[in-house]
Amino acid sequence: MAEKGRKKAGPLFTVSIYPLIALVGYLIFFTASLLVYGTATGIADESYTYFFLGLVILLLYCLFYTVSQRVWRARFYEKRFTIDGRKRHGEIDYGQVKRVTARKVFFGLVSTVEVTLKNEPGRYRILGNPRNEELDSDLGGWLAERTMAD
């Protein structure tokens, strides 16, 4: 039980792709519904059908890109961070981090933070670069400073 007046140590940054998956899934359902409604009622002309079909294909690509990421959820604490994802679940100390790179992907629309570990060949791409107002920093900058200090 926590003492009175003492805050529970929660994560400083939390990143999850689940809300993005839900949003893209909803957009796919809505767009497909418009496509089916337009073609079933006969109000859709050829350009309408091609536009919404192209939009559904683009949204399916976005969904596939999001689901194919190695990191599905990451929580960053003061001394370590945890990763939940495809083929990797567990805690990682900041001393194991080799390199941190913040960049934009998907035509410059999505901010990501890429983390390379010393003992693993691949990199972990974390979709999103959230900002913590208390620390006055974003995840990429804070993580780069944190790993250089260790």
* Rounded distance between C-alpha atoms, residue 106 and residue 122, angstroms: 20
Whether 87 and 138 map to the same domain: the answer is: yes
In a shared domain, residues 54 and 87: no
pLDDT class for 4, splitting at 50, 70, 90? Answer: low
Percent of the chain whose predicted confidence (pLDDT) is above 70: 93
Q: How far apart are CA 64 and CA 132, in angstroms?
A: 29
Let me know whether 28 and 78 are in one domain: no
User: Can you give the residue range of the structural domain that contains 43?
Assistant: 13-67
Assess whether pLDDT exceeds 70 at residue 2.
Answer: no
Domain boundary among 67, 86, 112: 67
| Interatomic CA distance for residues 141 and 111, integer angstroms | 13
Rg (CA), the chain: 20
Q: Are residues 62 and 76 in the same domain?
A: no
Query: Given the DSSP bridges, would you call strands 13-16 and 71-76 parallel, antiparallel or unpaired?
Result: antiparallel
Name the DSSP class of 122.
S
Q: Quick check: is 8 in a domain?
A: no
- Considering the domain boundaries, does residue 91 fall inside one? yes
Position 7 scores a pLDDT of 55
pTM (predicted TM-score)? 0.75
Residue 4 falls inside a structural domain: no
Residues 50 and 96 in one domain: no
Could you give the 3-state DSSP secondary structure of residue 35? helix
Give me the number of domains the chain comprises. Answer: 2
| 2 falls within a domain | no
Residue 117 is assigned to a structural domain of this protein: yes
Kindly state whether residues 108 and 57 are assigned to the same domain.
no
Share of the chain above pLDDT 90, in %: 17
Query: Same structural domain for residues 63 and 95?
Result: no
Q: Please check whether residues 77 and 145 belong to one and the same domain.
A: yes
pLDDT grade, residue 58 (50/70/90)? very high
Least confident among 2-16, 20-34, 79-93, 113-127: 2-16
- Res. 124 pLDDT band, cuts 50 70 90: confident
**According to the model, what pLDDT value does residue 116 have?**
87
Residues 94 and 26 in one domain: no
Encode pLDDT of 84-106 as tens digits.
Answer: 988 778 888 888 888 888 888 77
